[in-house]
Structure 1
């Protein structure tokens, strides 16, 4: 999956820390917008969902999975992007449980593809050392090194 992000130009290693979670969601969605998988309004849907339902997109401390409904007219295709911020982004200020700096933004044209995306992502994140490795990267070169290292392990 790391190779998928890289090969599809869906990796962002952000140098500039967002001022808040809304800006982080805008930044993390940009790769999907650039790839014509979602429209700019998709991020507004995600933001509205967080405002309405709370930060349900924080799946564990450190990991954020922004997404909106697969039935959204603002979803043009299926994909997942990866964005890494240097510092945690808090969705509930001071609440360690509701923060993250690894953002995996999902877009899917239907419910089946949405569930497949989540399964692939969970399979990646459950591999030993993946989260820690992604937390440690600061550059695209670091990402490539981790990607190649993990891919080599999975083929042996």
Structure 2
């Protein structure tokens, strides 16, 4: 029988700090606090509003390189599987995220160049919010993402 790893419990003081940031939802606060509890923890999000607010908080330095953006995952998928595959997967769900909806276009028919440029733009914007960047460095087939 496989051994289950212990569930991490968020640090109460970090959770309290995060709950003081109005742009960070309570569920995200728990996930971020758990991420900070695990030295190897990473957090995947598409909430740029929360990241902009978090970048102004002292906890941002502790999150350096530990956040993966949904746009980074999509860029990896684009590079790995191509434009048609990505647009097919996103088509029915594109309205969930405004940034992604803008990147793929109103008819979900963005060109490869527009997809790449749009994803890179959002990744770059969020990566540059604070120094060191909270955004993880991922390697793609075409380029190294911001570190």
TM > 0.5 fold call: no
Greater strand fraction, Structure 1 or Structure 2? 1
Rg comparison, structure with higher value? 2
Greater helix fraction, Structure 1 or Structure 2? 2
TM superposition score normalised by structure 2: 0.30
